Homo-oligomer: A and B are copies of this chain.
Amino acid sequence: MDLSHLIAVARGGEPADLVLRNARLVDVLSSDIRTTDIAIAGTAVAGVGRGYRGRETVDLKGRYVCPGFIDAHVHLESSLVCPREFARAVVPRGVTTVVADPHEITNVAGAAGIRFLLRDAARAPLQLFVNVPSCVPATRLATSGAALTAAEFEPLFSDPRVLGLGEVMDFRGVVAGDSRVLAAIAAARGRPLDGHAPGLGGRELNAYVAAGIGSDHECTSAEEAREKLRLGMTIFIREGSAARNLSALLPLVTPQTERRLCFCTDDRQPADLLEEGSIDFLVRRAIAGGVPPLAAIRMATLNPAEHYRLSDRGAVAPGRRADLVVFGDLGDVRPELVYSGGVLAARDETPVGPAREEGTAEPDTRVRGTVRVDWSRTEFRIPANGSRMRVIGIVPDQINTGSLVLPPSVVDGFAVADPERDLLKIAVIERHRASGRTALGFVKGMGLKEGAIAGTVAHDHHNLIVIGADDASMETAARAAAASGGGQTVAVGDRVLAMLPLPIAGLMSEEPIERVREGVRSLAGAARSLGSPLRDPFMTMSFLGLEVVPALKITDLGLVDVEAHAIIPLFAEK
């Protein structure tokens, strides 16, 4: 952008590229709404006021204009699509900037995964920023595809799209002064450090904040959020596909506190993105919940921009990016037009432009073909070595689990799945290095009466995870999931009922998001047809491997007692 041209347009000396006339401007800076014109030059707003000439003019006839929405924290891998397709879902919702924490793909592909996301997003009308994942791998209790050490941060930070440090999930490590996590913090010193401290309070929270961590998106109550706010944290109010905290946190919003509150989606699935929306959904929900529209919009725009020091956006003002959302009803913000960097990117919630360009398939082999399994060493049988075994207890719609102790169902000396008891076998197959390592266990609550489900999405290590009513179905599902470089499958016996290929890191499709939504639906439908009562069996399964959320989880190294931070045997003593 030529600054002297921008200035010339602003002062009226040269025509604007585009003038939006009769905009009812939602001014998040001065908290007023007024009708005016907006002159755009290149990617930026040049001037706000009457009298600008433009090569193109659009009369908005009094419709509202606010800044493009900013998602303060999102794992875009949860959309199961690549950034360009993610953009096709969220840009029509008014989201023009997202701050992603790419810790899923980084666990698979390391820094190459981050670079892939940035490269792919560069072709979309969405500004993607990333925070460097702070916890890859999350722990030493699982095998991930890559590690990202503090020494690798500096080259990433040389990219202006890399802002700071992603959510520091190892809050216990921070509080204890663990050297690995402090090294990551030191390497990102002076940059925004994102937090993740569910339920942390008191002196432990003081310690976490003293380390320099400046935000948290895990608050589930206004009291929790207020304590964090008082200590200096910016609170990201989250409304994901699973974790939904907006209603609980609305009491926190006052004119005095609002500046320290932002919105984020954290994790949203394709159907929720396409049907509910993204940050626009939170804006509507907040307004419906009684937050003044100006405040709700500011929490989606200026506040995250200021938190991340993105001084070139977050408001409609000279010199800032022309990321603009046009809508008709302040009480029910539904984007009619979305401009991204001065270019019309969506109309009536539909992206402008094709779903994907020809010949743009990702060539980087470091994010493709990442599923490597030594099937010759894979074994699903479990010798029955006791009368009491530890079983993962699914809690519907939660990512934490119960830790149960149940007697095995034994056939021919082997502990087997027993659908009658809703006792299914679970396997985690190491899939990054073809080590052949497989951990086996049992799970209760998945509800399959027959068959199996499998997938390469398994937080955070993303090994191949399988749950089934019999070993043959498990092997069919697992092999099918692995076959196309990763994916999610449902199988019965030797028959694959449903399959969603996820060839990018085993996490993301390259297909249009609408098709991926259908794939997700058919997977869930197939799983439900096999008896699962869960709303989303695959999301539930994907968190059974997350060894940092209580109580009992499973990785390729075995069952994990999360509180004890230890691998424990399947069969309990005495």
List residues of A whose CB falls within 8 A of some B CB: 3-4, 6-12, 27, 29-32, 44-49, 51-52, 174-175, 177, 182, 185-186, 202-204, 206-207, 209-212, 214, 226, 229-232, 254-257, 259-260, 294, 306, 309, 311, 315, 317-320
Contact = CB atoms under 8 A, between A and B. Distances in A.
Contact of A206 (B10, B206, B260): B10
A95 to B, nearest CB: 21
Contacts of A46: 206, 210
| Max chain B C-beta neighbours (<10 A), residue from A175, A231, A257 | A231
Q: How many copies does the complex hold?
A: 2
B29 A207 contact: no
Given A11-B203, A49-B203, A29 B230 contact: yes
B257 A10 contact: no
B12 A203 contact: yes
A317 to B, nearest CB: 4
A226 B32 CA distance: 11
Nearest to A34: B230
A255 B257 contact: no
B318 A210 contact: yes
Given A11-B203, A11-B204, A30-B229, 16 more contacts: A7-B207, A7-B210, A10-B206, A27-B230, A29-B229, A29-B231, A30-B256, A31-B257, A44-B210, A46-B206, A47-B203, A210-B318, A211-B319, A212-B319, A214-B311, A259-B259
A470 to B, nearest CB: 49
Contact of A209 (B209, B229, B254, B318): B318
27 contacts: A3-B185, A3-B186, A4-B182, A7-B174, A7-B207, A9-B210, A10-B206, A11-B175, A11-B204, A11-B206, A11-B207, A29-B232, A29-B260, A30-B229, A30-B257, A31-B254, A31-B257, A46-B206, A46-B210, A47-B203, A47-B206, A47-B210, A49-B203, A209-B318, A212-B319, A232-B317, A232-B318
The list of the 7 closest CB pairs from A to B, nearest first, reads A31-B256, A232-B317, A255-B255, A47-B206, A210-B318, A11-B207, A10-B207
Contacts of A311: 214
Contacts of A185: 3
A30 B546 CA distance: 34
A327 B37 CA distance: 48
Contacts of A204: 11
A51 B29 CA distance: 41
A212 B11 CA distance: 14
B232 A175 contact: no
Contacts of A207: 7-8, 10-11, 47, 318
A82 to B, nearest CB: 29
